[in-house]
Amino acid sequence: MPALFITATGTDVGKTFVACALIRALRAAGRKVEAFKPILSGFKALQGSDAGRLLDALGEPASDLDRMSPLRFTAPLAPPSAARAEGREIDPAALTALCRQRIDDAGDAFLLIEGAGGVMSPLAEGTTNLDLIADLNVPTLLVAGSYLGAVSHTLTALAVLEGRGLPVAALVISESGGDAPPTSEMTHALRLFAPALPVIVAHRDQQWSADALAALLDARGVA
């Protein structure tokens, strides 16, 4: 029952974009794959939402929304704040148990668990994505942008993951576009500071294929 936690250096850098591409690549290779995004803030409609995009990549119906993202909140805020706005509270222990149950239920399928926000973004009162990853003890796929300052954010995220002894399977640089520096500059910098970490660039100006990422995860015994 292999599982991979997809996290990021921050919010809106491309976690779901990468997750969907990886799902399509794994399915094309004949692999059984499932996805789980337990917490979703800013949810107003299925279409265009992270849950909707993941379901579409999996070829699953809209009726599976509750299974994909059981904890949904309307406010586009960090999960604890979004929950408080609705008079609700996220129980960290229950969240961990929910993820563990999905890992068990996935059987021999490869399960992608997508967090909310970045590595240190809060998921519940006093609990971050980092805490959840540590509780689950599964490999991590880190997604970073390529905007100016992304190298610092990426190295910081890697440092906190390493500080908790959590394995990072690979880093995906999700191209930020606009006036962002060339991704080659970021790749060069990261190879100096983290030479052993596999780095893959996801270009956002085309239909990016995650075939190379899927092959890498397979070669590293993650998928």
Write the CA distances from 155 to 26, 158, 165, 196, integer angstroms: 28, 5, 15, 13
Residues 78, 32: Cα–Cα separation, whole Å: 31
Residues 20, 153: Cα–Cα separation, whole Å: 23
Question: Hey, which residues are catalytic here?
Answer: 37
Structure tokens at 17: 């974009």
List, in order, residues 6 or more apart from 209 with CB less than 8 Å away: 21, 25
Residues 89, 138: Cα–Cα separation, whole Å: 25
CA 109, 110, 116, 120 dihedral sign is positive
In 3D space, the residue among 145, 143, 115 whose CA is nearest the CA of residue 130 turns out to be 115
In 3D space, the residue among 113, 126, 158, 163 whose CA is nearest the CA of residue 6 turns out to be 113
